[in-house]
């Protein structure tokens, strides 16, 4: 059987292996231009290909120069469609102006909460964090907001429970049955915390 | 190597392979792609090839004929079918498979 690798997969592999160092971007022939990548960005891309979080690199004009596989999965969009496409095309209309401002300002560690429009038409709330900006390229991490909010709420609840256990321990429980109950509660908190970490690392 | 494969390689025909390499000036990957392509052609096509280098840095509109996204990209124009290989061709096996100079079973 002849090998028939899809162009998108071929593109993904070439980028992950650091075999390309430029992209052709622009909406039409008149607008086409070549954007060069620096060596540091190629190494960055190899790293983010293995991440569980969405990662994109954009020009200040909002062209997607790179997106990892996870980001494509989040949007339910083939990777090949993302390259060199304007990011705003995947953002809900009300959020587009804020996204443009976010990219133009390009302040490191700045965040913005926006809604992406997935391929099936559903909205996906997400937090964008600009982790690096250099030579006209913005490196952005994308986290699904619902998961982020849920994880934070769960972490807050666990911290409250931990505080209660510490308070009870400090009070010096004399009753053996009460001590056992507190110990059991402490173990369950640890188990829940571990579970939360696992869910966070696999679902973000 | 089978007869079909030899024919595909241009070893039993006078068919000249027409290859177009899209580059972005003198970037390291563009230079590497051209060097790797020449090596592959010499080893497998034995002089029966033409390489056209198209510098998109000088004129990005020259990519109009093919859907180029990443650079370097090699396009095999002839023999048909038209194929694209993205990257600097440093992965020789992938390049040979992409050019249909080598088949793999799976």
Per-residue model confidence as pLDDT tens digits over B62-98: 888 888 989 999 999 999 899 999 999 988 888 998 8
Does A34 contact B69 at a Cβ distance shorter than 8 Å?
no
Backbone angles phi, psi at A67, to 5 degrees: -145, 140
Does A17 contact B85 at a Cβ distance shorter than 8 Å?
no
pTM of the model: 0.50
Q: Residue A28's pLDDT is what?
A: 77
Residue A169 reports pLDDT greater than 90 = no
Residue A118 reports pLDDT greater than 60 = yes
Does B71 contact A20 at a Cβ distance shorter than 8 Å?
yes
Q: Residue A3's pLDDT is what?
A: 38
Q: Residue A90's pLDDT is what?
A: 95
Between B7 and A95, the more confident residue is: A95
Q: Residue A73's pLDDT is what?
A: 93
CA–CA distance, A18 with A73 (Å, rounded to integer): 21
Does A34 contact B60 at a Cβ distance shorter than 8 Å?
yes
Please report residues of A whose CB lies closer than 8 A to that of B28.
Answer: 21
Residue A137 reports pLDDT greater than 80 = no
Cis check for the bond before B81: say yes or no (omega within 30 of 0): yes
Q: Residue A77's pLDDT is what?
A: 92
Give the residue from B13, B105, B71 showing the smallest Cα distance to A19: B71
Q: Residue B9's pLDDT is what?
A: 52
Please report residues of A whose CB lies closer than 8 A to that of B84.
Answer: 7, 10
Q: Residue A88's pLDDT is what?
A: 93
CA–CA distance, A6 with A175 (Å, rounded to integer): 68
Does A23 contact B87 at a Cβ distance shorter than 8 Å?
no
Please report residues of B whose CB lies closer than 8 A to that of A21.
Answer: 24, 27-30, 71
For residue A10, give the chain B residue with the closest CA. Answer: B86
> Sorting pLDDT into bands at 50, 70 and 90, what band is B19?
very high
ipTM: 0.82
Q: Kindly state the average pLDDT of the residues A106-129.
A: 87
Sheet-wide strand order for A111-117: A64-67, A54-59, A137-144, A123-134, A111-117
CA–CA distance, A83 with A204 (Å, rounded to integer): 22
CA–CA distance, A165 with A181 (Å, rounded to integer): 10
């Amino acid at each position: 059987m002849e090998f028939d690798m899809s162009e998108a997969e071929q593109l993904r592999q070439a980028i992950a292996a650091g075999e390309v160092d430029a992209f052709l971007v622009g909406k039409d022939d008149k607008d086409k231009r070549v954007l060069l990548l620096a060596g540091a960005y190629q190494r960055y891309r190899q790293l983010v290909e293995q991440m569980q979080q969405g990662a994109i690199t954009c020009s200040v004009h909002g062209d997607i120069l790179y997106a990892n596989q996870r980001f494509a999965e989040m949007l339910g969009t083939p990777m090949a469609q993302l390259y060199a496409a304007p990011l705003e095309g995947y953002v809900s209309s009300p959020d587009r102006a804020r996204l443009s401002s976010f990219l133009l300002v390009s302040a490191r560690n700045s965040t913005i909460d926006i809604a992406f429009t997935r391929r099936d038409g559903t909205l996906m709330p997400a937090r964008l964090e600009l982790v690096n900006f250099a030579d006209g390229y913005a490196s952005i991490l994308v986290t699904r907001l619902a998961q982020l909010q849920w994880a934070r709420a769960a972490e807050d609840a666990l911290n409250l429970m931990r505080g209660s256990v510490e308070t009870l321990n400090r009070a010096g429980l004399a009753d053996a049955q009460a001590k056992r109950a507190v110990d059991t509660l402490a173990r369950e908190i640890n188990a829940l915390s571990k579970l939360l970490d696992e869910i966070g690392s696999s679902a973000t | 190597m089978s007869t079909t494969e030899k024919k595909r390689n241009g070893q039993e025909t006078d068919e000249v392979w027409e290859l177009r390499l899209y580059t972005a000036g003198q970037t390291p990957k563009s230079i590497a792609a051209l060097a790797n392509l020449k090596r592959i052609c010499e080893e497998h096509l034995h002089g029966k090839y033409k390489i056209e280098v198209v510098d998109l840095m000088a004129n990005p509109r020259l990519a109009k004929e093919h859907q180029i996204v990443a650079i370097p990209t090699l396009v095999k124009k002839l023999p048909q079918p038209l194929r694209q290989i993205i990257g600097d061709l440093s992965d020789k096996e992938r390049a040979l498979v992409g050019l249909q100079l080598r088949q793999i079973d799976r």
